[in-house]
Each structure stands twice: as C-alpha cells, then as structure tokens.
Amino acid sequence: MRVLLIAPPGAGKGTQGALIATHFGSPHIATGDLLRDHVARGTELGRSVQDHLAQGELVPDDIVLEMVRAAIVEAKAGGNGYVLDGMPRNLAQARALYEIALGLDMTANVALHLKADDEELSRRLLARAALEGRSDDTEEVIRRRLAIYHEVTHPIVEWYGARGILVSVDAVRPIERVARQILTALEAMRPLVDLVPEHARRSIDLTGLGAAFGKN
C-alpha cells in the first residue's frame, strides 16, 4: 500500500502513520525526520537545509521534494509501498509530488484524511504542550496553526477527492480505535487498488462508522 496522510495539527498523524507502516511493513517517510537525518549525516541536501534554517528561512519545496523523491525510490526498491507523513502541505506540493511519484510509477493508492474538530485539536495540543513543556504552543499560536491548515492545507482534500483516492476517518476517538478502523479499511482495499484505475474510483468517508469500531 502507498499511503499519504492529510491531517491538521494534533490529529495523530505521526502516530497513525507509524502504525500503518508497521502493519504493512512499509517505510514511514516522515519529512521532518528526513530533514533532521540529512542534517545529522551532513549530506549535500542536509547542508542546504542547515543553511536555510540558520538564516531563519523555510526549507524550499524543491529541497523537501528531492528528499521525498529519494525516499520513494528507496521504498520502490524495497517493494513494500510507503506511508508519507508531513507532505504535501499545499496544492502546489501535492501536484509536484504527484508528478514525481507518477514518473516512478509509485503514485499513492490512498490519501488518508484524519478529521477532527478544532476544539478537540486545541485541547490535545494544549495538553501536549503542558506535558512536554512547550511554552511557545499557546492557545493563540495553536489557533493560528489551525487557521493556516484550513486555508493552505485543507484544500488538497478536495483535490485527492477528485482523484478518487481519498479516505476520511474520524480521528477524535481513542488511538487504538482509529487505528483499527484505518487498518480494516486499508486491508479491504489492498487487493483492489492496483486493479481499479483512478478515474473509476470514488472517495470513501468512514467518519460515520464510529459505532462499528467503538465510539469511546
């Protein structure tokens, strides 16, 4: 399975991504981890990243996309798909990522959308900030992060929906119940994804099936 994750801050993207990757024996491509790894190893890309960070700049898309491309090439060689976490964050990145994956014959089978309301996300992020001592994660900062997500990242949900690969789940429930629903859906889809072309697929919304997997 080739899965990419779309989720607002606090929805559990990293946790669910790691669980999916472990279940399918696939690499968990987390862009933040990739950046830190390249910096730590002092690669050419890592040095470029460090230069931007040292100047207080965002890492340009082309650098992140090149890192992701290399990770997808490695995943293809391993033959077990991938779980991509942390990209795309906007429509331009989504389109660029699609072109890269298309050239490698490694386009995503599923765009997994973890849905949660802002009130619950704020509660989770504030609790995490208190637990980890993140004094910079204030209520105001969290509101701004969520606003940016809705404005910049959320529009790609419709784009993946139009491609027919979107699967939406309710991420408000406990981690293990969300994971069980995700893995059940992905296992059901696994034998079909390479047989049904994108133009013949339809998005799947599982957010109303909470009762079947336990609401609490």
pLDDT, tens only, 48-87: 888 877 776 778 889 889 999 999 999 999 998 999 998 9
pLDDT, tens only, 109-121: 999 999 999 999 9
Count CB atoms within 10 A of the CB of residue 41.
Answer: 10
d(CA 199, CA 94): 18
CB 167 within 8 A of CB 185: yes
Q: Which residues pair with 114 in a beta bridge?
A: 169
Global pTM value = 0.85
Residue 199 has pLDDT above 70, yes or no: no
Q: Please report the pLDDT score of residue 211 as a whole number.
A: 43
pLDDT, tens only, 112-156: 999 999 999 999 999 988 888 777 678 888 998 899 889 988 889
Q: Please report the pLDDT score of residue 204 as a whole number.
A: 87
Domain positions in the chain are 2-31+81-210
Binning pLDDT at 50, 70 and 90, where does residue 200 land? low
The dihedral built from the CA positions of residue 6, 2, 36 and 50, taken in this order, carries a sign that is negative
* 2-31+81-210 CATH fold: Rossmann fold (3.40.50)
| Cis, bond preceding 88 (omega within 30 deg of 0) | yes
pLDDT, tens only, 28-54: 999 988 888 888 898 888 888 888 777
